[in-house]
Amino acid sequence: MHEQFISEHPDTSFSIAGVEIPSWELILELTAQCYDLVSSGYIGVDIVLDRRQGPLMLEMDARPGLSIQTANQCGLLTRLKEIEGMPSLPSDIIECITVAKTLQS
């Protein structure tokens, strides 16, 4: 099942196609703040959604797996090359998120 596209949750068979993740903008801000906390250059952030508290950071991974790239059906390399080609990167978290959302998919 690894590295394969799925349209149903593997345990519940619940359809996940088209499901919108609640509080997506807040999740993006939370993960960007986690990045600012560490000086690893690249991290993975695991987020859990709590019914009452919303998105919460579960853990940060210094060496995250990259197979999650298949979730949006595009790789990371193209985006990294776009970032490398930028004359400067914004320092404000909201501006960073805006730039990230405009990168090619």
Q: Which residues in 55-80 are b (16+ Cβ under 10 Å) and which e? A: beeeebeeeeeeeeeeeeeeeeeeee
User: pLDDT by residue (tens digit) across 36-53?
Assistant: 888 777 888 999 999 999
Q: How confident is the model at residue 103 (pLDDT cuts 50, 70, 90)?
A: confident
Q: How confident is the model at residue 69 (pLDDT cuts 50, 70, 90)?
A: low
Task: Answer with the residue of higher pLDDT: 14 or 66.
Answer: 14
- What global pTM score does this model have? 0.75
